[in-house]
Amino acid sequence: MLAWLADHPLAAAVLALVALGLVFGAVLGYAAERFRTEGNPVVEQINAILPQTQCGQCGYPGCRPYAEAIAGGSAEINQCPPGGEAGIQALADLLDVEAKPLDAAHGEEAPVKAVAFIHEDDCIGCTKCIQACPVDAILGAAKQMHTVIGSECTGCDLCVEPCPVDCIEMIPQAETLKTWHWPLPDPAAGRVEIIATDRLQDRAA
C-alpha cells in the first residue's frame, strides 16, 4: 500500500486531502452537536438590551417582537425612544453595526422617567386602561376605582389614550436623596461649580 502510494504521488495527494476533509468534517460535526446553542440567542440578547417598557413606540407590540424584528432584519435599531441613545449604542455594539440617531418618527427620548398616575376622583372604573397596560401595573375592577402600582409602571403611557375621562396623567419622577448623585465632571469645563445659595434662591423665586 505505502509503496503504491509512493509510486502514485497524485493519488496520494488526493487521498491525503480526502482524509483531511473527513477528519475535519467529523471534528466540526461533533463540535456542532456538542456546542449547539438553543433557540435564537441574538433575539434574547437584543431583548435584554431593550428597556422592556413595552410601549410599542417602535411600531411593534412589545419589546420582544421588536427584538425579533431587529434580529430578522426588518426593523432598524433606532426605533426605541425609551432606550435612547445609550440603548441604540448598545444595540449597535451587539450587532456590530453603525449607531444611528434616534428615529424621530417614533418619538423622542424623555429626559426624565415618568410614571402613570390615575386621578382617582375622576376614574369611572371602565377598565379600559387595565386592558391597555402591557405589564398589568393597573389595579381595579369594573365600576371600581383603578390605581397604578407605581413601582411596576414602565412609563409607556399606553393607558393615557384609552381613558374616556382623561384621568390618567404621566407624572415625571422627582429626584430624591436616594436617586441623586454627583454628575460626571465635564472635562472641558473643569470642576462643577455652582454657587449653592444662589441656586437655592433661584428655586425659591
Known binding-site positions: 55, 58, 63, 80, 123, 126, 129, 133, 153, 156, 159, 163
59, 79 in Cβ contact below 8 A?
yes
Establish if 204 lies at the interface with other proteins (CB under 8 A): no
132, 153 in Cβ contact below 8 A?
no
Binding test (CB under 8 A) with other proteins, winner from 96, 182, 202, 205: 182
Alpha helices in 50-191 (DSSP H): 63-72, 84-95, 128-132
Q: How far apart are CA 117 and CA 135, in angstroms?
A: 15
> Collapsing DSSP states into helix, strand and coil, what is residue 145?
coil
Of 189, 133, 185, which is closest to residue 161 (Cα–Cα)?
Answer: 133
Establish if 154 lies at the interface with other proteins (CB under 8 A): yes
Instruction: Return the number of the residue (12 or 65) whose C-beta is nearest other proteins.
Output: 65
Q: Which of residues 72-111 bind other proteins (CB under 8 A)?
A: none
Establish if 54 lies at the interface with other proteins (CB under 8 A): yes
β pairing state of 138-139 and 114-118: unpaired
Binding test (CB under 8 A) with other proteins, winner from 12, 43, 45, 64: 64
Establish if 176 lies at the interface with other proteins (CB under 8 A): yes
DSSP structure class, residue 21: H
Cell of 186: 465635564
74 Cβ contact partners less than 8 Å away, ≥ 6 residues apart: none
Establish if 194 lies at the interface with other proteins (CB under 8 A): yes
Establish if 8 lies at the interface with other proteins (CB under 8 A): no
Q: How far apart are CA 104 and CA 92, in angstroms?
A: 18
Binding test (CB under 8 A) with other proteins, winner from 62, 69, 88, 140: 62
| Minimum CB–partner distance for residue 47 and other proteins (Å) | 7
Stretch that binds other proteins, among 17-25, 28-36, 139-147, 165-173 (CB under 8 A): 165-173
Which residues contact other proteins (rule: CB under 8 A)?
47, 50-54, 62-64, 119, 122, 124, 134-137, 152, 154, 164-167, 175-177, 179-185, 187, 189-200
